[in-house]
Homo-oligomer: A and B are copies of this chain.
Amino acid sequence: MNAAPCPTPAVAADVAVFTVLDDALQVLLVRVRRGAFAGRFALPGGRVRTDESLDAAAARLLAERTGLRDVYLEQLYTFGHPERDPHGRVVSVAYVALIPHGGRFRTADGDGGAGFADVHWRPVAALPPLAYDHETVVATALARIRAKLGYTNLVYTLLPPAFTLGELQAMYEAVLGRRLDRRNFRKKMLALGLLRPLGRQRRGAHRPAALYGFRHRRPMVVEIL
């Protein structure tokens, strides 16, 4: 257990951040600047410091690369194939993050905000080639969140404080990739008692819809689907 001269893999953390945007599940990518994968997209990440926990490293790296803070973060899996990084042996602890798309955050493309450079949303259904083994990481993350939406209340991480049942249903449909029956969905959701009617309405192009919020904004396991 002495601090031997270095024959240990480097430790990194990478974060797959998802949101639902334009009715599609999207993942946040950054452009790689240097090295063998320069120009490609990758998940935001970097080295873990020796004095910080893995969770703290993931949160710090995400904030440094994208400005995102206080998001839902959960450890996903650790990828450690010896050849996953051509620059040297790096073991990467991957995290999943989920955020609502509430304009609290602007990317480099499209909405032309004061965002971080070279940070982009890309729909998971049409991913560009990614650096390292990050395509595997995204696939693993997708499987995790699809499964977990089914037995937890994690949708709350994707939604703003007030939303309509239609928007809630659209979240599930975007993440799961299939349509749901509206009547059964509303019945089930309201029966679960996770929602609180806000007594307000959203007016839009059509008939106004009642607004709801979550009673509890913390992870719980509940049979949803």
Selected interface stretch from A45-53, A153-161, A163-171, A204-212: A45-53
Selected interface stretch from A81-89, A96-104, A108-116, A193-201: A81-89
Q: B residues within 8 A CB of A162?
A: none
Selected interface stretch from A6-14, A16-24, A62-70, A120-128: A6-14
Which of B78, B81, B87 has a CB less than 8 Å from the CB of A75? Answer: B78
Q: B residues within 8 A CB of A80?
A: 11, 48, 53-54, 93
Q: B residues within 8 A CB of A220?
A: none
Interface centre among A8, A51, A52, A88 (most CB of B within 10 A): A8
B9→A6 contact, CB < 8 A? no
The residue in chain B whose Cβ has the minimal distance to the Cβ of A85 is B1
B51→A82 contact, CB < 8 A? yes
Q: B residues within 8 A CB of A35?
A: 1
Q: B residues within 8 A CB of A78?
A: 54, 75, 78, 93
A47→B8 contact, CB < 8 A? yes
Q: B residues within 8 A CB of A90?
A: 1
Interface centre among A50, A77, A93 (most CB of B within 10 A): A50
Q: B residues within 8 A CB of A79?
A: 54
Interface residues of A in 175-206 (CB under 8 A from B): none
Number of copies: 2
Residue count of chain A within 8 Å CB distance of chain B: 32
A91→B54 contact, CB < 8 A? yes
The residue in chain B whose Cβ has the minimal distance to the Cβ of A13 is B80
Which of B3, B9, B50 has a CB less than 8 Å from the CB of A11? Answer: B9
Q: How far is the CA of A79 from the CA of B85 in the complex (A)?
A: 22
Interface centre among A48, A50, A78, A89 (most CB of B within 10 A): A78
Name 17 extra pairs, CB < 8 A, besides A51-B89, A80-B93: A1-B85, A3-B6, A3-B88, A5-B6, A7-B49, A8-B9, A8-B50, A9-B48, A9-B50, A11-B11, A51-B82, A52-B82, A53-B82, A54-B79, A75-B78, A78-B93, A91-B93
Q: Top 5 nearest A-B pairs by Cβ distance? A: A54-B80, A1-B87, A78-B78, A8-B10, A6-B6
